[in-house]
Structure 1
Amino acid sequence: MKKNWHLVVTGTLAMGLLAGCGSTQQTSGEKNSASPAAKTAQVNLKATVLTDDLETFKSAYAEFSKENPTIQVQFETIPQAQYYEKLRLQLSSGEDIDLVGGNMDVFLDTGILEPLDDYIKKENIDVSGYGPLYDSLKVNDKVYGLPYRKSNWMLFYNKTLFDQANVAYPKADMTWNEFRELAKKMTKGEGANKVYGAFLHPWAQTWYMQGVQTGASIIDKDLTPFKKGLQFRMDMEKDGSIMGWAEQITTSAHYNSAFQKGNVAMNLIGDWHVAQLRQAETEKKISFDWDVVPVPHPEGVAANTSLATPVSLMVNKNSKHKEEAFKVLQFMTGAKGAKQFSAKGFLTGYVNDEIRKIYVGDGSMKPKNIHFFVEQKEYPEYPLLPGVKNILVNNVYKQEGEMALTNAETVDQAIQKIGQRVEKEWADKYAKDFKAGKK
């Protein structure tokens, strides 16, 4: 439990000091000099944030404290595997935590989050820097958190393999059908030495992405837009241009190790892969050249349309110092905090020209085309509502997609069952109480 220490100057002590000095009255200057002293009481806050973000939060706080010396923040974390489960328990038991970092949807059903709309209005915060993410964060027309970073998807490619095959690099404006043809062209060989044209991780996101890019939601009643994506993945497996789902599972194939091995021409994955590849280069684990281009898009959808998963900072509604906690949140999720996070290589929730320049850097580090990350049109990967991630993404879409990928169901059957399970396992529990914001 934290302790708040307050400096108290009593009126009796103040009067005694004046009498001892022989003063008969206070000047206006003396009154003013007493006023700041009354406001110097230190406020102690506690924030629990994701492990990967802890050090950057501490660095950003060093800047924050220069402007707000009376607000002390103790940053703590929990191991990733236990993070959300343990943090939910801590919050429900009333532990003294003022600020929470992570995926907002995990906490919405707890009722522990403070609505931020009044604070945002009072401080006249310019939310345009968050782009369309701001409205997508709303639940029941209220904002419960602001994103300090986000994860967007991109297409990574092995330039060395393309050079060796004398094939042009992937285009920045490429449809999914063009991607499929390029993957077939880049596939060669057999067995352990086979070069795959592409790698699609076993996650359901790699196929339902195509529907989300059109503006569809995985909780829609009409899931027709997602049929194409699932069928597309199955077709690419038949082409032999990607590793089959069953082989990925039996061999524990992973997007990072698969791409670093050097026999995958294109890798569809999120922005976090940049840091993984840079680290591999530093450790001399890879020697090939690589870059990025926007993910392929459906016909009729603009190029560089991607998925974004925001990671937010939130205020505990039971905090005793909500005003001060919001000051921290405002700094960390706004332009000042974004400068700190983008300098560390994080894709930030708030973006302006200066932050774009910081993120892109001076061109001395790969990928050369990192600018595509800060030029994307973004759709949230899934509606930020309770249960969507845990129930639908991690279970329903994953399980039924796998049934189709192992030929236990047809694509039509899988999509039909997904629809039924969305209604039964998610909508019946949450849809009445929670409504997502606009995309």
Structure 2
Amino acid sequence: MKKSLKLAMTGSLLVGLLAGCGSNGETAGEKNTTSSGEEAAPVHLKATVLPDDLETFKTAYAEFSKENPNIEVEFETIPQKQYYEKLRMQLSSGNDIDLFGGNMDVFLDTGVLEPLDDSIKNAGVDVSGYGPLYDSLKVNGKVYGLPYRKSNWMLYYNKNLFDQAGVPYPSDDMTWNEFRDLAKKMTKGEGVDKIYGAFLQPWAQTWYMQGVQTGASIIDKDLSTFKAGLQFRLDMEKDGSMMGWAEQITTSAHYNSAFQKGNVAMNLIGDWHVAQLRQAEAEKKINFDWDVVPVPHPDGVAVNTSLATPVSLMVNSKSKHKEEAFKVIEFMSGAKGAKQFAAKGFLTGYMNDDIRKTYIGDGSLKPKNIHYFVEQKEYPEYPLLPGVKNILVQSIYMQEGELALTGAETVDQAIDKIGERVASEWAEKYANDYKAGK
């Protein structure tokens, strides 16, 4: 999915060379030595990370190099739209990448992921800081990556529009039906001046999340739980309280630009939108007040239940320096690296009280209620198994959902067709060889 600031970042950046060297060529501080007392030779690692994360990795690496002066890391990135396809090609062609970041499931079928269980055990990594996210990372009982950040969903709202309408702000405990009623109440006007009560990006996640919030999985054999979410989106479009799918596609509407325009009351999207809005404020592109509340929930589901998608660091199984590569992963995804990412506004995979305080900040930046992000009950958006994202999320669920939203299929037909396609296009290929969870 989802979900990143589209920075035009290409090429590579070397972000550390023998940190702490003085004019006499000696390393400042304690020297890293071998068991025989000799100074360890520098080890050069190559890492590829997502463009949105590159600058934070640079900052965190400056701290890492103080503790590991013999490990030099060259960070590279690839433009977001080409990232996974190009990185998969580079890894399969034997490119000398030692470690890399992204959604772990994209690489499981490549054979390039190094199991990290022994490294985690030998290093005594405290995995409790990852919470339930850690077990969701396991595939066939093994861990192939550690999450340095994650993406959770939240409901953003334009406080000015609610003030102008004299309508109370969204509650932190809304059911989906209450959300729909509020969206209808906030919708007014026509044409280019219309105020929409809500905006839901034309992604399958915006309707299947209602099923996931109940604990269901998009690979379940019984997908009846997901009918309500698809029917709900269709009903909201009929209400006119949100821009319809067809109009979103023909006008290339996007959640970020749509919300920043100032005519959308509520915007359902992930945590990365915080950074986008803060940047827009810094550049004086928006002049309205905004905040967040938890995503609406189905009846009977706990308040502030959301979806979580981990973004991990992984070791290339063909790397000649796996031990050193894991040290980078251990630092970046652990407490020290997480604090650096939290300070930049990223929701981190590892969490403790100190990191939580850093993420929430001193209250000088919006959103005022950012604390909701670190108080969520989380379900994995989808199982971290091969093909789930590209076959199910980006193909089957998207295509059949669109047929329902355009009236080419009924909701029942769409869900039934999804079930058939999940079995024939995904399960027959992967289900017998891969198992998620503990």
- Give the TM-score normalised by the residue count of structure 2: 0.91
Residue 152 of structure 2 aligns to a residue in which SS?
strand
Divergent runs of 4+, >2 A? 33-39
Q: Could you list the per-position Cα deviations for residues 177-210 of structure 1 after superposition, in whole angstroms to 9, with x for gaps in the alignment? A: 1111111111111121111111111111000000
Partner of 1:20: none
Alignment partners' CA distance in 1, 2:53 and 2:418:
34
In structure 2, how many angstroms separate the alpha carbons of the residues matched to 1:95 and 1:423? 34
1:79 to partner: Cα distance: 1.7
Cα distance in 1, alignment partners of residues 94 and 258 from structure 2: 44
- Give 1:37 deviation, angstroms: 4.1
Where does 1:148-159 land on structure 2 (aligned, <5 Å)?
148-159=148-159
| Counterparts of residues 249-268 of structure 1 (less than 5 Å) | 249-268=249-268
> Which residue in the other structure is 1:387 paired with?
387
Give 1:172's aligned residue: 172
Cα distance change on mapping 1:34 and 1:278 into 2, 3 Å: closer
Matching residue of 2:434: 434
Where do 1:29-108 residues align within 5 Å? 37-108=37-108
Q: Which residue does the alignment assign to 2:423?
A: 423
> Displacement, 1:140?
0.5
1:38: how far off? 2.5
Shift of 1:118: 1.0
C-alpha separation in 2, matches of 1:96 and 1:408: 48
Q: Name the residue aligned to 2:277.
A: 277
Instruction: Return the index of the structure with the highest Cα Rg.
Output: 1
Describe the SS at the equivalent of 2:269: strand
Q: 1:399 to 1:207 in 2, by over 3 A?
A: same
How far apart, CA to CA, are the structure 2 residues paired with 1:408 and 1:388? Answer: 25
Q: Which amino acid aligns with 2:211?
A: G
SS at 2:297 equivalent: coil
Give the secondary-structure state (helix, strand or coil) at the position aligned to 2:197.
coil
Give the match's secondary structure for 1:38: coil
Cα distance in 2 for partners of 1:36, 1:318 equals: 28
Q: Distance in 1 between matches of 2:35 and 2:285?
A: 61
Whether the aligned pair in 1 keeps the contact of 2:304 and 2:372 (CA below 8 Å) is: yes
Alignment pair present for 1:248 and 2:248 = yes
Counterparts in 2 of 1:184-223, with a 5 A limit?
Answer: 184-223=184-223
Change (3 A) 1:274 1:428: same
Give the conservation status (yes or no) of the 8 Å contact 2:34–2:40.
no
Letter in 2 for 1:192: V
Q: Which residue of 1 aligns with 2:397?
A: 397
Closer/same/farther in 2, CA of residues 306 and 34 from structure 1, 3 Å limit: closer
Q: Pick which of 72-81 and 198-207 moved more.
A: 72-81
**Aligned counterparts of 1:324 and 1:279: Cα–Cα separation in 2:** 35
Instruction: Give, in angstroms, the shift of residue 34 of structure 1.
Output: 9.1
Alignment match, 2:17: none
Deviation per CA, 1:259-292: give whole Å up to 9, x if none: 1111111000011111111111122221111000
User: Does the CA contact (< 8 Å) of 2:156 and 2:267 recur in 1?
Assistant: yes
- Alignment of 1:412 onto 2:432: no
**Partner Cα separation in structure 1 for residue 76 and residue 284 of structure 2:** 33
Give the counterpart letter for 2:203 in structure 1: W
Counterparts of 1:338-417 in structure 2 under 5 Å? 338-417=338-417
Structure 2: 5+ residue runs without aligned partners?
Answer: 1-13, 15-32
User: Cα 1:35–1:391, aligned 2, differ >3 Å: closer, same or farther?
Assistant: closer
Query: Are 1:326 and 2:360 an aligned pair?
Result: no
Residues of 2 paired with 1:353 and 1:165: CA distance?
39
The residue aligned with 1:142 is 142
1: CA distance between counterparts of 2:367 and 2:272? 12
For residues 50-84 of structure 1, the C-alpha deviation after alignment (integer angstroms, 9 at most, x for no partner) is: 11111111111110111111111111112222211
Distance 1:330 1:364 in 2: 31
- Quote how far apart the aligned CAs of 1:395 are: 0.7
Aligned to 2:162: 162
Q: Aligned Cα RMSD in Å? A: 1.4
Q: Which amino acid aligns with 1:100?
A: F
The verdict on how the C-alpha distance between 1:41 and 1:192 changes in structure 2, with shifts beyond 3 A counting, is: same
Aligned length: 407
The alignment partner of 1:324 has SS state of helix
Indicate the residue corresponding to 1:10 in structure 2: none
Aligned to 1:118: 118
The Cα of 1:39 is off from its aligned counterpart by 4.6
Distance of 1:140 and 1:35 partners within structure 2: 36
Match of 1:426, SS? helix
Q: CA deviation at 1:416?
A: 0.1
Q: CA offsets per residue over residues 317-347 of structure 1, 9 Å max, x none?
A: 1111111111110000000000111111111
2:8 is matched with none
1:240 Cα deviation after fit: 1.2
Structure 1: gaps of 5 or more residues: 3-32
Cα distance between partner residues in 1 of 2:293 and 2:70: 45
In the alignment, the residues of structure 1 paired with residue 348 and residue 243 of structure 2 have an alpha-carbon distance, to the nearest angstrom, of 32
The change in CA–CA distance for 1:136 and 1:34 in structure 2 (over 3 A counts) is closer
| 1:225 equivalent in alignment to 2:220 | no
TM-superposed deviation, 1:234:
0.7
1:383 maps to a residue whose letter is P
With the length of structure 1 as denominator, give the TM-score of the two structures.
0.91
